[in-house]
Amino acid sequence: MTPSFDQLNVLVVHNNEPMRAIISDMLEAFGFDNVTEVARTSTAFEILVRHRVDLIVAQYEDVAPVGLQLTTMVRTAEDNPDPNLPIIFITLSTEDDAVQKAFRCGANAAIASPINAKELFSTICALFEREKSQVKSSYYVGPDRRNRDNRPFHQREKRHEDVTASISKTG
């Protein structure tokens, strides 16, 4: 089931104006009626403090740490009304180190650029469909990345069957 986005407020933070416009156009096509675009971290945080924001889509690059700075501010600033706000990073790098760094700073999701609408939409839907608890420690503030799925493991023991089958074939 597709969630209704028309009452949600999205903040797009990217230093490249055409990229902000592309992301905003996609979000509006998904049904978001309230999309605000900004280029600077300081402007974004001012908006967060003064207005309700339900989702942030931010640029993440090592050379222009807009998303990194904003995520740190969102997760740790005392005057931020919602430190658990979902944050999606748009990154130019698909390197594991860059993506892991994004997650370590508190992002909920990361999408590699060039961005496509289908991936952005499915990422947003997944964020709003599942509630993740937040962790706050001296080393990390952000979504809990641990798997809390405590269902019993019901897969058959393949190793035992493979060993038994190979012994019976040779014997």
Q: Domains, the chain, ranges and CATH?
A: 9-170 (3.40.50.2300)
For residue 113, the model assigns a pLDDT of 84
Q: Whole-angstrom Cα distance, residue 75 to residue 115?
A: 25
- Model pTM score: 0.74
The tens digit of pLDDT for each residue in 81-117 reads 888 899 999 988 767 777 777 787 788 998 888 889 9
Phi and psi at residue 60, to the nearest 5°:
-135, 115
| Rounded average pLDDT over 143-171 | 50
Q: Whole-angstrom Cα distance, residue 85 to residue 107?
A: 9
Task: Grade residue 11 by pLDDT with cuts at 50, 70 and 90.
Answer: very high
Q: What angle do CA 93, 94, 96 make, to 5 degrees?
A: 110
Which residues lie below 8 Å from residue 150, measured CB to CB, with a gap of 6+?
none
Q: Is the pLDDT of residue 8 over 90?
A: yes
Q: What angle do CA 54, 55, 57 make, to 5 degrees?
A: 160
Q: In this structure, which amino acid lies at residue 118?
A: K
